Amino acid sequence: MSFGDSKKEASYEWNQRASGGWISPTSSLPDNDICVLIRTKCEEWPLALGWRDGDVWRELSSDEIDSEVTGWMHMDDAAGILDTVAFARKGGAK
């Protein structure tokens, strides 16, 4: 790993912590064809599972996401957040 790679990784980790795990598509994009959790401005369906296909965001159904994408996160990060929420709802550690 080069210095540039470690600096990029540290910046990525800081941005995720500061934003609750969401990454702004204006600051960074996922690699093409990697499934991520996507947040949009759509009021009816604000969250979707999908990926980047060149310059297009797609849902798992392969349909193009028409609404503006406001954030995305890797599935591992999303799973960690969901685990934390589930743990808190169960009353935490007893």
Q: Which residues constitute the domain of residue 29?
A: 3-89
pLDDT of residue 68: 97
Cβ neighbors of 12 (< 8 A, separation 6 or more) are 23, 28
94 in any annotated domain: no
Domain contains 22: yes
- What are 18-61's pLDDT values in tens digits? 457 899 999 999 999 899 999 999 999 899 999 999 999 999 99
pLDDT at position 1, please? 47
Domain count, the chain: 1
Q: Is the dihedral of CA 6, 12, 56, 48 positive or negative?
A: positive
